[in-house]
């Protein structure tokens, strides 16, 4: 298999993302991680744009020795000279010269004829060649450049000494077949094309950056320019992690490889996200929080039996410790049982089924279920007493005179209801329960705590209630702390009622 050169432009095009800005120390930190990731070429910046960018490129060129360090420059003498100066300490320097070639850029931005474009491009490459052996040239907006003129430009810059010709889809205009045809046209019609590497640089305005880059590889491109997390101008650039893992996972189709140490992908993604402040969307391929997460019961069952049923990549390959089985409303019994067991609990089938049903009710109320939620449900199940009285509905009025209206289910068919006033909503609830059950309790202790975080957190209420000289403890959990309080008090009263029934039966 032939190797695809991975050219990373996170520190140049990636930093141009609106909202992203890195100081020299942050750039160097990312550069070190990119070196660990084992990329081939690192575009460290655009030195002419600012003193900070110049210093960043210089520092990276001096510090990073095992990667080719590249600096961007317009086809302008001062840009090229500045890039060369910034790269002075680099072990393997590359100057990347660019000049727009499309009709729309020639007419409105550069106001230059075709002949002048070719002359300027050749001059720029020759000037860069005086400083370094490795020169890359990009005809900006190549995907919208007339095919015949693009052939002329590419042939001319290779003749001038360019060792890499990069074909940018600058505004994300191309589609895979169109972009592949551009690469094929160059391979077929540029006489000296074999004297240079064909590179591709795609933007994601139509969400096709990765697809276009892969199509270009099939058509003969051997370098891909990309960024970590796909960051970049507007909708971003080709995502490094997606390109690399597509080539790795579908090597049967692409028949190419890279030198990337894929187990460093997650670490690199998180460093870039943290320093740029650009968060990765949850469903982002490869590095998103959900990329190796499964909530559907059918999917969880399959993955737990054989990971390849629903995973085409191993999470370990990109630096994740394991698959994330998300316990939520779509989870099945198999995944729930496995998680309960992993938490150290063994439940009989009947208890497991009841706990699973309670879990489903909870999952309908909150987006994410934490291990602490499951533990609370299990512990609640284990402390469960026969429900002689069961809460059917509850409403409270917190006006000047707090009132609680409660309906209790007694046995399978009987419903009792009443309303009572109290010193507060909780006091009114407890008094209403006393009235409906006929059991008068004295509240000794009452506590409510949040089991998990977030506004939909599961709350646990616990009470100590004295009845006839004996103390009974009750507890319950719910996303509604008022409901948890009512159920906890009712749990204690059920213990009293159960004790009374046992006495009568003897």
Predicted confidence at residue 413, as pLDDT, reads 82
Residue 303 in any domain: the answer is: yes
Looking at the DSSP bridge assignments, the partners of residue 467 are 470
pLDDT band at residue 470 using 50, 70 and 90 as cut-offs: confident
Burial 41-76 (b: 16+ CB within 10 A, else e): bbbbbbbbeeeebbbbbbbbbeebeebbbbbbbbbb
pLDDT band at residue 302 using 50, 70 and 90 as cut-offs: low
Looking at the DSSP bridge assignments, the partners of residue 294 are 325
- 363 and 414, same domain (yes or no): no
- 260 and 297, same domain (yes or no): no
Residue 269 in any domain: the answer is: yes
Predicted confidence at residue 210, as pLDDT, reads 98
Distance in angstroms (rounded) separating the CA atoms of residues 258 and 221: 13
Residue 288 in any domain: the answer is: no
Residue 283 in any domain: the answer is: no
Residue 228 in any domain: the answer is: yes
For residue 476, the domain's CATH number is: 3.30.160.270
Predicted confidence at residue 298, as pLDDT, reads 60
The residue out of 335, 352, 382 marking a domain boundary is: 382
The residue out of 352, 367, 382 marking a domain boundary is: 382
- Cα angle: 432, vertex 434, 438; to 5 degrees: 125
Estimate to the nearest angstrom the gap between the alpha carbon of 289 and the chain centroid.
Answer: 4
* DSSP three-state, residue 449: strand
- 269 and 366, same domain (yes or no): no
Output the average pLDDT for the chain: 88
Distance in angstroms (rounded) separating the CA atoms of residues 158 and 165: 8
Contact (CB, 8 A) for 372 and 458: yes
The residue out of 222, 248, 276 marking a domain boundary is: 276
Looking at the DSSP bridge assignments, the partners of residue 201 are 168, 225
pLDDT digits 0-9 by tens, 92-115: 999 999 999 999 999 999 999 999
Contact (CB, 8 A) for 297 and 330: yes
Residue 145 in any domain: the answer is: yes
Q: What is the pTM of this model?
A: 0.69
Residues belonging to the binding site are 13, 201, 203, 237
- 59 and 180, same domain (yes or no): yes
**Which range among 49-53, 250-254, 306-310, 458-462 shows the weakest confidence by mean pLDDT?**
306-310
- 257 and 299, same domain (yes or no): no
Nearest-10 Cα torsion for 108, 113, 114, 115? -150
Distance in angstroms (rounded) separating the CA atoms of residues 399 and 428: 12
Predicted confidence at residue 344, as pLDDT, reads 57
- 207 and 321, same domain (yes or no): no
- 178 and 81, same domain (yes or no): yes
> Mean pLDDT across the stretch 348-368?
77
* 3-class DSSP string for 334-399: HHHHHHHHHCCCCCCHHHHHHHHHHHHHHHCCCCCCCHHHHHHHHHHHHCCCCCCEEEEEEEEECC
> Mean pLDDT across the stretch 160-166?
98
- For residue 458, pLDDT over 90 is answered with no
Domain count, the chain: 3
Predicted confidence at residue 267, as pLDDT, reads 87
- For residue 266, pLDDT over 80 is answered with yes
Largest separation between any pair of C-alpha atoms in the chain: 108
Predicted confidence at residue 21, as pLDDT, reads 74
For residue 103, the domain's CATH number is: 3.20.20.70
- For residue 446, pLDDT over 70 is answered with yes
The percentage of the chain sitting over the pLDDT mark of 70, rounded to a whole number, equals 88
pLDDT band at residue 363 using 50, 70 and 90 as cut-offs: confident
Residues belonging to the binding site for Mn(2+) are 13, 201, 203, 237
Contact (CB, 8 A) for 50 and 16: no
pLDDT digits 0-9 by tens, 112-150: 999 999 999 999 999 999 999 999 999 999 999 999 999
* DSSP three-state, residue 69: strand
Contact (CB, 8 A) for 278 and 20: yes
Query: How many C-beta atoms surround the C-beta of residue 334 within 10 A?
Result: 16
Query: How many C-beta atoms surround the C-beta of residue 95 within 10 A?
Result: 27
pLDDT digits 0-9 by tens, 19-69: 777 888 889 989 999 999 999 999 999 999 999 999 999 999 999 999 999
Top pLDDT among 293 and 99 is at: 99
Predicted confidence at residue 479, as pLDDT, reads 80
- For residue 228, pLDDT over 60 is answered with yes
Predicted confidence at residue 416, as pLDDT, reads 93
Contact partners, residue 411, CB within 8 Å, separation at least 6: 388
Looking at the DSSP bridge assignments, the partners of residue 285 are none
- 238 and 270, same domain (yes or no): yes
- Domain hosting 104: range is 2-276
Contact (CB, 8 A) for 234 and 207: no
Predicted confidence at residue 270, as pLDDT, reads 85
- 297 and 270, same domain (yes or no): no
- For residue 375, pLDDT over 70 is answered with no
- 338 and 299, same domain (yes or no): yes
Residue 21 in any domain: the answer is: yes
Q: Per the structure block, which two tokens stand in for 454? A: 């977030």
Helices (H), 383-480: 425-437
- 130 and 267, same domain (yes or no): yes
For residue 349, the domain's CATH number is: 1.10.238
- 127 and 160, same domain (yes or no): yes
- Cα angle: 282, vertex 288, 293; to 5 degrees: 85
Residue 281 in any domain: the answer is: no
Distance in angstroms (rounded) separating the CA atoms of residues 377 and 331: 16
């Amino acid at each position: 298999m032939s190797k695809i050169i991975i050219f990373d432009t996170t520190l140049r095009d990636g930093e141009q993302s609106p909202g992203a800005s890195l100081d020299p120390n942050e750039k160097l930190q990312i550069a070190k991680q990119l070196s660990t990731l084992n990329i081939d070429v690192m575009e460290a910046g655009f030195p002419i744009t600012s003193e900070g960018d110049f210093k960043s490129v210089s520092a990276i060129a001096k510090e990073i020795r095992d990667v080719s360090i590249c600096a961007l420059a317009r086809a302008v003498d001062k840009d090229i000279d500045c890039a060369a100066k910034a790269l002075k300490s680099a072990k393997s320097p590359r100057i990347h010269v660019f000049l727009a070639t499309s009709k729309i850029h020639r007419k409105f931005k550069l106001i230059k004829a075709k002949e002048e474009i070719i002359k300027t491009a050749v001059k720029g490459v020759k000037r860069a060649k005086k400083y370094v052996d490795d020169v890359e040239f990009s005809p900006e907006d190549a995907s919208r450049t007339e095919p015949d003129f693009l052939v002329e430009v590419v042939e001319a810059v290779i003749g001038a000494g360019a060792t890499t010709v990069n074909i940018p889809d600058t505004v994300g205009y191309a589609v895979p077949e169109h972009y592949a045809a551009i690469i094929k046209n160059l391979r077929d019609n540029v006489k000296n094309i074999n004297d240079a590497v064909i590179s591709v640089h795609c933007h994601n305005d139509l969400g096709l950056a990765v697809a276009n880059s892969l199509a270009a590889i099939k058509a003969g491109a051997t370098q891909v320019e990309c960024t970590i997390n796909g960051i970049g101008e507007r909708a971003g650039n080709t995502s490094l992690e997606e390109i690399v893992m597509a080539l790795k996972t579908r090597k049967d189709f692409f028949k190419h490889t890279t030198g990337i140490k894929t187990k460093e992908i997650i670490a690199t993604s998180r460093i870039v996200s943290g320093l740029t402040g650009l968060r990765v969307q949850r469903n982002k391929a490869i590095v998103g929080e959900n990329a190796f997460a499964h909530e559907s019961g059918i999917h969880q069952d399959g993955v737990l039996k054989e990971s390849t049923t629903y995973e085409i990549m191993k999470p370990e390959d990109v630096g994740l410790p394991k698959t994330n089985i998300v316990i939520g409303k779509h989870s099945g019994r198999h995944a729930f049982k496995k998680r309960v067991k992993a938490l150290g609990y063994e439940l009989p089938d009947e208890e497991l089924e009841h706990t699973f049903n309670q879990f489903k009710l909870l999952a309908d109320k909150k987006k994410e279920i934490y291990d602490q939620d499951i533990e609370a449900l299990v512990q609640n199940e284990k402390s469960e007493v026969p429900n002689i009285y069961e809460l059917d509905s509850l409403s409270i009025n917190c006006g000047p005179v707090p009132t609680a209206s409660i309906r209790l289910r007694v046995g399978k068919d009987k419903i009792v209801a009443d309303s009572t006033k109290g010193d507060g909503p909780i006091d009114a609830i407890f008094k209403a329960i006393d009235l409906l059950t006929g059991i008068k309790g004295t509240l000794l202790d009452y506590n409510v705590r949040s089991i998990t975080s977030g506004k939909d957190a599961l709350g646990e209420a616990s009470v100590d209630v004295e009845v006839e000289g004996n103390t009974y403890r009750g507890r319950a959990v719910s996303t509604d702390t008022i409901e948890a309080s009512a159920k906890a008090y009712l749990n204690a009263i059920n213990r009293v009622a159960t004790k009374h029934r046992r006495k009568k039966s003897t």
